[in-house]
């Protein structure tokens, strides 16, 4: 590991100013991804700015009836929060589906959004990777890609975003708030992650030096009937090979409102807007759910070893929406 400086900060402007003065500095939250990547040399910061003691550790109701989640709230506290469990149950389920109890106690909401892909070529500094070393190539396309992207990838990178939490946040129209030396700003999660294109090393639309201060969830009555379902290669403590966050409002057999987002299929949480549009106002039937999933997945460009994800996602969407229909009827 490269040597680095360390400084704990107690206020947001101080954190932003410190990072502005040290171009190769990084913010340190729980460190569950960053410290791991520093050990392997993928990340080589010259200074860590520890943001864990910033006053960003609260979850508060917003005036319009939504929630604002501070950036240093741990995954554990987010998942256990009564308002989150009651009003956005899929968010609690998504967070609990990720990592382990130990890691969820350490990891923060801001860090979760900024965690890096677990693509084996990205994490191995002996291998080429366009995300880690721009222009070096993407061995995953010809190599090991059974858990790589089927949607929105490019000839330069087929890595997926590993977050479970982000999938639920995407379904609920979360907005990321941040602070820069020039003042605060915000980005809808739908615009937070950049398209892959030929610049896979550029991952987010955050301005240089910005510190994520939190995530705002708008009020979403539909979210009270919501679910996160994750498929993985073992029963627990593994990254998804496919996941769905869904919320559904059904009245008299008709879909009045629906939210749908996919995980582990793209470089970002994949909001399934095509499927949502098809479903809204239509019948709440398994046939309609499958047809909507097919329409969303029509854009899929699978590789030889991850084509199974198209079928997996179709079946997952159908199953989860069917379960939510039954739950709504209770």
Partner 1 sequence: MAPSTSSAITLHVNGEKYTLPVDHRTTLLDALRERLDLTGTKKGCDQGQCGACTVLIDGRRAVSCLQLAVAAEGRDITTIEGVADGDQLHPVQQAFVDLDGYQCGYCTPGQICSALAVIEEHAAGWPSAVTDDVRPEAGPPPLTADEIRERMSGNLCRCGAYVSIVQAVARAAGVEAAV
Q: Which is nearer to partner 1, 55 or 134 (CB)?
A: 55
Other CB atoms closer than 10 Å to residue 2's CB: what's the count? 10
Query: For residue 7, which of 20, 25, 23 has the smallest C-alpha distance?
Result: 25
Full strand arrangement of the beta sheet holding 226-232: 226-232, 240-251, 254-263, 270-271
Closest approach of Cβ 98 to partner 1, in Å? 9
Closest approach of Cβ 245 to partner 1, in Å? 14
Closest approach of Cβ 101 to partner 1, in Å? 5
Q: Which is nearer to partner 1, 196 or 241 (CB)?
A: 241
Q: Which is nearer to partner 1, 235 or 298 (CB)?
A: 235
Distance CA 120, CA 237 (A): 17
Q: Which is nearer to partner 1, 230 or 314 (CB)?
A: 230
Distance CA 8, CA 28 (A): 9
Q: Which is nearer to partner 1, 3 or 64 (CB)?
A: 3
Tokens found for residue 319: 């199953």
Closest approach of Cβ 234 to partner 1, in Å? 9
Paired with 18 in beta bridges are: none
Q: Which residues bind partner 1 (CB under 8 A)?
A: 1, 3-8, 22, 28, 30-32, 35-36, 39, 46-48, 50, 52, 76, 79-80, 82, 85-86, 89, 92-93, 96-97, 99-103, 105-106, 235-237
Sign of CA dihedral 154, 156, 162, 163: negative
Closest approach of Cβ 39 to partner 1, in Å? 7
Q: Which is nearer to partner 1, 46 or 195 (CB)?
A: 46
Cβ partners under 8 Å of residue 304, min gap 6: none
Tally: H helices and E strands in the chain? 12, 12
Closest approach of Cβ 175 to partner 1, in Å? 23
Distance CA 197, CA 131 (A): 11
């Amino acid at each position: 590991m490269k040597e680095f400086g360390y400084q704990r900060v107690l206020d947001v402007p101080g954190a932003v100013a410190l990072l502005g003065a040290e171009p190769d500095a990084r913010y340190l939250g729980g460190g569950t991804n960053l410290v791991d990547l520093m050990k392997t040399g993928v990340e080589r910061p010259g200074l860590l700015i520890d943001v864990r003691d910033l006053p960003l550790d609260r979850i508060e109701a917003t005036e319009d009836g939504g929630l604002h989640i501070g950036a240093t709230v741990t995954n554990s506290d987010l998942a256990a929060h009564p308002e989150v469990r009651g009003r956005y149950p899929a968010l609690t389920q998504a967070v609990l589906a990720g990592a382990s109890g130990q890691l969820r106690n350490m990891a923060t909401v801001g860090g979760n959004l900024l965690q890096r892909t677990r693509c084996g070529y990205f994490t191995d500094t002996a291998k080429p990777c366009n995300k880690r070393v721009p222009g070096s190539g993407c061995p995953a396309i010809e190599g090991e890609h059974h858990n790589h992207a089927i949607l929105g990838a490019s000839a330069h990178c087929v890595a997926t975003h590993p977050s479970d939490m982000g999938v639920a946040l995407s379904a609920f129209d979360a907005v990321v708030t941040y602070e820069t030396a020039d003042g605060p700003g915000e980005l809808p999660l739908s615009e937070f992650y950049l398209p892959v294109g030929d610049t896979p090393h550029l991952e987010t639309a955050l301005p240089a030096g910005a510190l994520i201060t939190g995530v705002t969830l708008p009020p979403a009555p539909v979210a009270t009937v919501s679910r996160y379902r994750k498929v993985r290669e073992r029963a627990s403590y593994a990254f998804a090979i496919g996941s769905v966050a869904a919320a559904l409002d059904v009245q008299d057999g008709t879909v009045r409102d629906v939210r749908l987002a996919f995980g582990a299929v793209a470089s970002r949480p994949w909001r399934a807007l095509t499927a949502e549009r098809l479903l809204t106002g239509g019948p709440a039937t398994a046939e309609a759910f499958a047809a909507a999933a097919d329409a969303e997945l029509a854009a899929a460009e699978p590789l030889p070893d991850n084509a199974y994800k198209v079928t997996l996602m179709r079946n997952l969407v159908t199953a989860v929406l069917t379960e939510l229909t039954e739950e709504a009827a209770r």
